[in-house]
């Protein structure tokens, strides 16, 4: 499966993507923003990439201008444990993402996530997309705000951040109806 925007190609990972993948999963700030330590072992990163390759809606973000994989967006079954305090519509999906720190602040992630949202709501007809971020990850919150996701909950003391501090989890969602009103896609 391949999706495309003006600047990006979104497609499944391949083994040939390893060096690009390694470049950003080993960066000191990327993993920690998602709640995991940066990779320091290439073999463990290779094993993780094999898992990512097998996922049905795991989209590698390829920057057209450089023909380089710089991050990913995944559309997955939502994780009820992160939304245990909310009633989520049946058939909902969750979006997760990460991006090489070299490309932060350039509007790439909102562009990529918006395309995956379009695919989910229009092609797959999902009723709702849920998305969350650790309260410490303000950048992710800005992406979600920009895309129009509304906060529907907050879990205080959801877990332990990689520096050992307690984190809260900001929970957001967008229904298909909200997407159609906000983006007014042409049929």
119 token code pair: 């695919």
97-151: pLDDT as tens digits: 999 999 999 999 999 999 999 999 999 999 999 999 888 888 999 999 999 999 9
Q: CATH number of the domain at 73, please.
A: 3.40.630.30
What 3 state SS string does the chain have? CEEECCCEEEECCCHHHHHHHHHHHCCCCHHHHHCCCCCCCHHHHHHHHHHHHHCCCEEEEEECCCCEEEEEEEEEECCHHHHCCCCCCCCCEEEEEEECHHHCCCCHHHHHHHHHHHHHHHHCCCCEEEEEEECCCHHHHHHHHHHCCEEEEEEEEEEECCCCCEEEEEEEEEEHHHHHHHHCCCC
Residue whose entry in the numeric block shows the structure tokens 């999706």: 3
Could you tell me which residues come within 8 angstroms of residue 56 by beta carbon, excluding any fewer than 6 positions away?
none
Other Cβ atoms closer than 10 A to 150: 11
Number of domains composing the chain: 1
CB distance 142 to 104 below 8 Å = no
23 token code pair: 């470049």
Paired with 133 in beta bridges are 170
pTM, two decimals, is 0.91
84-85-87-92 Cα dihedral, nearest 10 degrees: -50
Domain extent, residue 107, equals 2-183
72-94: pLDDT as tens digits: 999 999 877 667 667 888 899 99
143-154: pLDDT as tens digits: 999 999 999 988
133 token code pair: 């971020």
Spatial separation of the C-alpha atoms in residues 111 and 152, rounded to whole Å: 23
pLDDT the model gives residue 81: 67
12-63: pLDDT as tens digits: 999 999 999 999 999 888 877 777 678 899 999 999 999 999 999 999 999 9
């Amino acid at each position: 499966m391949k999706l495309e925007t003006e600047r990006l190609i979104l497609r499944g990972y391949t083994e040939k993507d390893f060096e690009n993948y390694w470049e950003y999963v080993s960066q000191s700030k990327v993993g920690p923003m998602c709640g995991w330590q940066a990779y320091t072992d290439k073999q463990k990163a290779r094993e993780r990439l094999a898992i990512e390759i097998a996922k049905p809606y795991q989209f590698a973000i390829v920057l057209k201008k450089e023909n380089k994989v710089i991050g990913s967006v995944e559309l997955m079954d939502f994780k009820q444990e992160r939304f245990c305090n909310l009633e989520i519509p049946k058939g909902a999906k969750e979006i997760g993402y990460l991006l090489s720190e070299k490309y932060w602040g350039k509007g790439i992630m909102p562009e990529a996530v918006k395309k995956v949202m379009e695919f989910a709501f229009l092609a797959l007809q999902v009723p709702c997309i849920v998305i969350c971020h650790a309260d410490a990850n303000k950048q992710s919150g800005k992406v979600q705000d920009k895309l129009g996701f509304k906060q529907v909950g907050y879990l205080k003391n959801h877990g332990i951040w990689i520096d050992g501090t307690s984190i809260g989890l900001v929970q957001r969602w967008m229904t298909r109806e909200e997407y159609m009103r906000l983006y007014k896609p042409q049929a």
